[in-house]
A and B are shown apart, each in its own frame.
Chain A
Amino acid sequence: MKSTLKRAGYGKVQRQMNDVFIQFTSKVIFLIILLFAVNLFLAGHYTPGGGFVGGLLAASAIILLLMAYDYKTVKKMIPVNFHLMISVGLAFAILVPTLLFFFGVPFFTHQHTYINVPVFGEVALHTAVLFDIGVFLIVAGTSLLIITLVGGTEE
């Protein structure tokens, strides 16, 4: 678009001018996608969904922001280091199943319990969620890292 405008005679072209619509709507849609990602992530235990899909959706929400704004702005909005995100995810994914040995059961065997929370009533607590958080972080972090590296926006 910039080159078209330049050819049309605009000497000084503002960065990403005329992107008001996409910038505004993406702010709204970003939130909706992110909420849907969390919903899928939490639904994943009994119904289709889980850490992988949730992570991909969360990454796509951030990629939408990247398309609407530039890398610097998004970095300011979401100050997360993708490397750290992957490392933390991997740590969750390996440490949670390993620590379950201390319950005297094989690798990956989950532990769960039910607790009563005032507003929500009975809530299931499950170690599989911790593992899934790891998967979520790895998938989201990896896809974002690949996109930013291919886009050449990260130093």
Chain B
Amino acid sequence: MTTNILPMLPVILPFIAGVIMLFIGKRPMPHRIISAVAGLILIGFAAFNIYYVYINGTMVTYLGNWSAPFGISVVYDMTAALLVFTTSIVMFFVIIYSFQSIGYEREKYYYYPMVLFMITGINGAFTTGDLFNMFVFFEVFLLASYVLITLGSRKVQLQEGFKYLVVNIVSSNFFLVGLAYLYSVTGSLNMADIHIKLSSYEGSLAIMTIISVVFIFVFATKAGLFPLYFWMPGSYSAPPIPVIALFGALLTKVGVYAIARTYSLFFTTDVAYTHQILLLLALLTIVAGCIGALAYTDMKQIIIYNIMIAIGVIIVGFSMMDYAGTVGAMYYLIHDIVIKAALFLLIGFIIYRTGKNDAADLGGLIKQHPVAGWMFFVASLSLAGVPPFPGFFGKLFIVESAFDNGHAIAAVIVLLSSLIVLYSIMKIFIKVFWGEPVEPIELKNIKSDKLLFSAIGLVIVSTVFGLSADFLFPIFEMAAESFYNPSSYSNYLMGVE
């Protein structure tokens, strides 16, 4: 009974909350209350699920009671549990942040239901054990994100929204093509079943390589890997700050999760080729991200290019596919979701308070906002990976694993990228909070208690996460096991067959 309902709750709860809000109609106040309460309940259940999975192992439920390789199964392993928990935390804080920043008109036109429908899709993509179902959930959150990116209909939003729409429709079509290839090779869509079938695969290696390249094209577009990141800086800077925070923290990470899942379960036949491509793309992404982060003084753009650097670092970890690499990548993935949301919310606060996007126009804000300033400092140290903060542990494992596997250049690039991350973020900190402004800034008189609450809340979550790294280590070990030892993911099928 419990395993029937618990893995589905992260999908059901936000959906029900969204439907209730649709019934209520265009009244923002009830929307706010319902979405915040739904966020809190979701955090509660997700935390309980982590505990449950830690004690009892992977939760599996078979939708419609169809047995595993044929029906759709929902596999709630530790990776999914951690990602769902982090997603709910970020969603809760972003919703609180939206109360004072998104604007009455957007709230009236179903902003909160769309956020919750997007969370439905994201949680579904994290928990499903069926590849086609993952495609469906990708579409669910993409549809909601199309609405969120254009909601408000400013010129730049429509322009960038159209770009975003076209890019994602094209890559979703290729997802479907890749699925069809994979189905014709293996005759199954259940991810665990495909893994078992491919481990005794004796057909042509070329076809598997082609499939892997199709999949990396798809997920690299969603995650913003090197040659396919061109849409990201534009599209992610168009919508209002809370939406960017959700997109930057969560949507790209779903792509990363999908890469990790498919490359650990399916493409193990020709690791020397496929994982080398992945590593190369990841390193190029880091380099491109570093160049972008150094080039801009616009605060949004700097953080957006930092997303790319982080994604590169995580993919370096996953492309190693050994114990240390995946533990580090898993840890860094969770860390990056929280800290990117926190940074976006903090610079959003600065932008709303001053009305300026460019860090070069600002200065001396530490006098008015000492708390926000030092929180930004903590967040930037955490992003760069200075020891007590969580970024450090993830990078440590990733670099260690890169050296172990003889990829010294990869390790050096990851280490150097930390310096550039630190420099680019400190550039914002020094320009915005220290010194004197070029011309005196008029601070806008806005209500900002909830803005600061959620931004600082996320920084505190991140710091606590870093300080409790020792305590959390077994959980991350468990989460990484499904990557470096994929048979632990697929052994729920053993009892069935």
Cβ contact within 8 Å between A104 and B63: no
**Across the interface, which residues of A come within 8 angstroms of B4, CB to CB?**
101, 104-107
A109 to B157, CA, bound (A): 42
A95 to B16, CA, bound (A): 8
- Asked, given contacts A106-B65, A109-B65, whether A91 binds B23 with beta carbons under 8 Å apart, the answer is yes
Does B181 sit within 8 A of A, measured CB to CB? no
Does B62 sit within 8 A of A, measured CB to CB? yes
A98 to B5, CA, bound (A): 9
- Asked, given contacts A106-B4, A106-B63, A106-B65, whether A94 binds B23 with beta carbons under 8 Å apart, the answer is no
- Asked, given contacts A98-B12, A101-B4, whether A110 binds B19 with beta carbons under 8 Å apart, the answer is no
**Across the interface, which residues of A come within 8 angstroms of B15, CB to CB?**
90, 94
A91 to B61, CA, bound (A): 23
How many cross-chain pairs have Cβ atoms below 8 Å apart between A and B? 46
- B25, B62, B63, B64 — which one has the most chain A CB atoms within 10 A of its CB? B64
A95 to B12, CA, bound (A): 9
**Across the interface, which residues of B come within 8 angstroms of A94, CB to CB?**
12, 15-16, 19
**Across the interface, which residues of A come within 8 angstroms of B74, CB to CB?**
107
Does B8 sit within 8 A of A, measured CB to CB? yes
CB distance from A86 to the nearest CB of B (A): 7
Closest to B15 in A: A94
Cβ contact within 8 Å between A107 and B19: no
Docked complex: A82-131 residues within 8 A CB-CB of B: 83, 86-87, 90-91, 94-95, 98, 101, 104-110
CB distance from B39 to the nearest CB of A (A): 18
Cβ contact within 8 Å between A107 and B63: yes
- Asked, given contacts A83-B22, A87-B22, whether A98 binds B65 with beta carbons under 8 Å apart, the answer is no
Does B496 sit within 8 A of A, measured CB to CB? no
Interface of B is mostly: helix
Q: In the complex, which range does the number of interface residues on chain B fall in?
A: 10 to 19
Does B494 sit within 8 A of A, measured CB to CB? no
CB distance from B16 to the nearest CB of A (A): 6
Does B438 sit within 8 A of A, measured CB to CB? no
A149 to B185, CA, bound (A): 44
A83 to B109, CA, bound (A): 12
Does B205 sit within 8 A of A, measured CB to CB? no
Which of B5, B19, B62, B65 interacts with A101 by CB under 8 Å?
Answer: B5
Cβ contact within 8 Å between A91 and B63: no
Closest to A87 in B: B22
A87 to B65, CA, bound (A): 27
Cβ contact within 8 Å between B22 and A90: yes
Does B1 sit within 8 A of A, measured CB to CB? yes
Docked complex: B1-55 residues within 8 A CB-CB of A: 1, 4-5, 8, 12, 15-16, 18-19, 22-23, 25
Cβ contact within 8 Å between A98 and B63: no
**Across the interface, which residues of B come within 8 angstroms of A110, CB to CB?**
64
- Asked, given contacts A106-B62, A106-B64, A107-B63, whether A91 binds B8 with beta carbons under 8 Å apart, the answer is no
**Across the interface, which residues of B come within 8 angstroms of A86, CB to CB?**
22
Which of A91, A105, A106, A109 interacts with B19 by CB under 8 Å?
Answer: A91
CB distance from B450 to the nearest CB of A (A): 28
**Across the interface, which residues of B come within 8 angstroms of A105, CB to CB?**
4, 65
Q: A106-B61, A107-B4, A107-B12 are in contact. List 5 more A-B contacts (CB 8 A).
A: A94-B15, A98-B12, A106-B64, A109-B64, A110-B64
CB-based closest 3 A-B pairs = A108-B64, A109-B65, A87-B22
22 contacts between A and B (CB under 8 A): A83-B25, A86-B22, A87-B19, A87-B23, A90-B19, A91-B23, A94-B15, A94-B16, A98-B12, A98-B16, A104-B1, A104-B4, A105-B65, A106-B61, A106-B62, A106-B64, A107-B5, A107-B63, A107-B64, A108-B65, A109-B65, A110-B64
